[in-house]
Structure 1
Amino acid sequence: MTMTPQEVQEHFMTYLEATECSVIEKSSEHVTVKLSPQADKMLTNRPYYWGFVERTGAPAETLSFTFVFDPTKYDEALAKQQKNSASPAGQGQDPVLSRYYGTAPLLPVLGPGRIQREDVTYGSSRLAQIWNAAREEGKCVYLFQQPSAPAAQRGRSTAYEQWLGVCFKVEFSCDLKREELHFLGISMSSRAIIEHFPAVLEGRELHPRLPERVHVKPAVLTLTEAAALLEDYLIEKLSRLDYGWAAQARERLKQELAVIDGYYEDLLKEEDEEKKALIAEQYENRKSEMQWQYEPKVSLSAITSGLFHLCSPVSASS
């Protein structure tokens, strides 16, 4: 798997916009931003600084970065721009000081006004950090659908239905591995379960604030009960799958164990008890390794979740 610079930029900009960073300059190859406090805390590894700000109430000064998504094209454009804007030596110098002391090199900008450059490409540590931050901060969301203009103008309260959406990761593993994502939703008031919940959310404008003139239907399920129902639903669905791959994996395990047995059969006849004990330990370790590698397993885990308050009624096609 790989990603183009445009795809990397799209992922990166989604995070920057979600954390309300201020865009200073943007092109198809780069973006220069001043980080928001939220993004600065997650990306710059300055816990002592933010601890000081929170303890003293001092105004926070966030860092600025130029994130470059296509370094080759960006450097070419930058070199061309510098060549076109080349000026006589000494520009930016004080004329009086230059007369007596000559032209001095301009010092780099340090401190809060400094803009650091970072190349962000597929596989870079900064991109991985963005994904980890998004995963950490987006584990659970609490969002409300914005009502349409006609609904907002009617003057009466709009009924909202509360839905718990959970994205599950299912991992089928043996000596091979396959993963699936299942995004399910359950109504907290009607117990209805929708299997492809992203289809419900698609096209809806969601915000973290409760809109005016809306009311939320009372829930009949607790979060724990709703999560358990979704998990039971998914487990029942998984139980209907074809598990021929598991039988094949156990057959391969049987063959590997037979090879190990054949290899250690003569070695275990060692007369020296100390050597025999070491060989027996190696033998058991090898069998444990093969069983761990080849034994078929199915694991289920929740990656992200959220409470979504949507205009009622809700269906996958709405």
Structure 2
Amino acid sequence: MQQQEIHKFLERYFHANGCEITDKGPGYMTVQLTIDLDKELMNRPFYWHYLEKTGGIPNPMQLTLITNQQLAPPHIKGEVIHFGSPRLHQIFDSARNLAGYIRLYENHRQAPGKQVPLRPWLGMNIRVSYQCDRKRDVFKSIGLQLINGQMVESFHDRLLGMSLTPKIPDYSFTLSPLIMPGSGVFRVANFIKAEIEQEDHKWADEARKRWQKDLTLLEHFYEEAEEKGESYENEKTALQEQYEPKVNISIINGGLFYLTDNAV
């Protein structure tokens, strides 16, 4: 997962959970946490328990995250975030727990009295993991219109520019989907798989070469043994688990979004 992708993911995560990004620049951001996200991320159970008992005024923490140490100004102090860091994995888990599924409506500005149709979109945020003895994650956000089948990428970025509300606005009505959400998930998955098949898989070929090199060393180590035994089989299996190229597709979260005709 590239640092720029991590930065964008964090921005989407905090915006989606109602946090204000009070300061940001190349390689860093400072976030004012909400009460809920402070409880979710900052591991202060005794503070919140005491506050609830005494009726004190809550004071959620600010969090400064550095996503690129080369780009961030030297005076910025905060947590360095990279793929594999505990904080990032904590936020991944939080995103799955807090935002598994949502339903939102575009808060459009139309002349009062005019009924506005809202078209259903299935939005999915997806992680594609390329795994061998190394790992790379790519995040994709796909939107599928559930009437005509139109599909767009960077869907979440488009949503960030809209005003969305959990309650259907006045003078609005929703159109019924022709594509059911379950079928839509299947379509999006096939779209992602087709994209992956068209990619350059040099990384997998190189992993297999490293795998074969270590297998050759393993065979050489055991070549004089009368019986290779269980330890040989275990080491051979371990090499396969380490090097065998795999691509895993996982859904982080998703939802239904009812949008005006020209919103996307």
Common fold by TM > 0.5:
yes
- Structure 2 equivalent of residue 222 of structure 1: 180
Alignment-derived partner of residue 115 in structure 2: 157
1:18 match: 18
Cα deviations by residue, 1:81-118 (Å, 9 ceiling, x for unpaired): xxxxxxxxxxxxxxxxxxxxxxxxxxxxxxxxxxxxxx
1:204 counterpart letter in structure 2: M
Q: Does 1:303 align with 2:232?
A: no
- 5+ residue gaps, structure 2, are 25-29, 66-76
1:283 matched to 2:244: no
1:243 offset after TM fit, Å? 1.9
Q: Distance in 1 between matches of 2:23 and 2:192?
A: 44
Residues 31, 255 of structure 1: alpha-carbon distance in 2 compared, 3 angstrom cutoff: closer
Q: State the distance in 2 between where 1:64 and 1:259 align.
A: 59
Whole-angstrom distance in 2 between the partners of 1:59 and 1:179:
45
Whole-Å separation in 1 of the counterparts to 2:244 and 2:87 = 36
Instruction: Report the Cα distance in structure 1 between the residues aligned to 2:202 and 2:86, rounded to whole angstroms.
Output: 39
- 1:209-239 Cα offsets, whole Å, 9 max, x none, are 2111101111112221110111111111211
Q: Report the 3-state secondary structure (helix = DSSP H, G, I; strand = E; otherwise coil) of the residue aligned with 1:218.
A: coil
**Count of aligned residue pairs for this structure pair:** 236
1:249 lines up with 2:196 in the alignment: no
Code of the aligned partner of 2:114 = R
Answer 1 or 2: higher relative contact order, Cα 8 Å, separation at least 6.
Answer: 2
- State the alpha-carbon separation in 1 of the partners of residues 259 and 235 from structure 2: 54
Question: SS of the counterpart of 2:219?
Answer: helix
Residue 189 of structure 2 aligns with which residue? 231
C-alpha distance after superposition, 1:111-142 (max 9, x if no partner): xxxxxxxx964469788756643442123222
Task: Confirm or deny: 8 A CA contact 1:145 1:206 kept in the other structure.
Answer: yes
Match of 1:116 in 2: none
Bigger strand share? 2
- Post-superposition shift, 1:18? 1.4
Q: In structure 1, what is the equivalent of residue 100 of structure 2? A: 139
Letter in 1 for 2:233: E
User: Matched residues in 1 for 2:190 and 2:128: separation?
Assistant: 13
Aligned to 1:176: 134
User: Which residue identity lines up with residue 248 of structure 1 in the other structure?
Assistant: E
Tell whether the 8 Å contact from 1:144 to 1:310 is kept in structure 2 after alignment. Answer: yes
Give the greater-gyration-radius structure (CA): 1
Compared with structure 1, are the counterparts of its residues 31 and 164 closer, same or farther at alpha carbon in structure 2 (3 Å cutoff)? Answer: closer
TM-aligned CA distance change 1:136 to 1:218, over 3 Å: same
Q: Distance in 1 between matches of 2:16 and 2:190?
A: 37
Separation in 1, partners of 2:119, 2:212: 53
Note closer, same or farther for the CA distance 1:122–1:135 as it changes in structure 2 (3 Å cut): farther
Is contact 1:120–1:126 with CA below 8 Å preserved after alignment?
A: no
Shift in CA distance, 192/179, structure 1 to aligned 2, threshold 3 Å:
same
Shift of 1:65: 4.6
> Shift of residue 165 of structure 1?
0.8
| Whole-angstrom distance in 1 between the partners of 2:124 and 2:193 | 14
Larger helix proportion of the pair? 1
Q: State whether residues 147 and 178 of structure 2, in contact with CA within 8 Å, keep that contact through their aligned partners in structure 1.
A: yes
C-alpha separation between the residues in 1 aligned to 2:252 and 2:124? 8
- Asked if the contact 2:104/2:166 (under 8 Å) is kept, the reply is yes
For structure 1, the 5+ residue unaligned runs are 21-25, 71-118, 270-275
8 Å CA contact 1:120, 1:127 repeated in 2:
no
The Cα offsets for residues 153-199 of structure 1, whole Å up to 9 and x where unpaired, read as 24111111110011111111222222212211111122221133235
Identity of aligned residues (%): 25
Change (3 A) 1:230 1:254: same
Secondary structure of the residue aligned to 2:124 is strand
Greater mean alpha carbon deviation, residues 124-133 or residues 279-288 = 124-133
SS in 2 for 1:210: coil
Distance 1:243 1:2 in 2: 22
Greater shift in the superposed pair: 290-299 or 126-135: 126-135
Aligned to 2:162: 204
Per-residue Cα deviation, 1:239-260 (whole angstroms, up to 9, x for no partner):
1122233222222211211110
Aligned twin of 1:261: 219
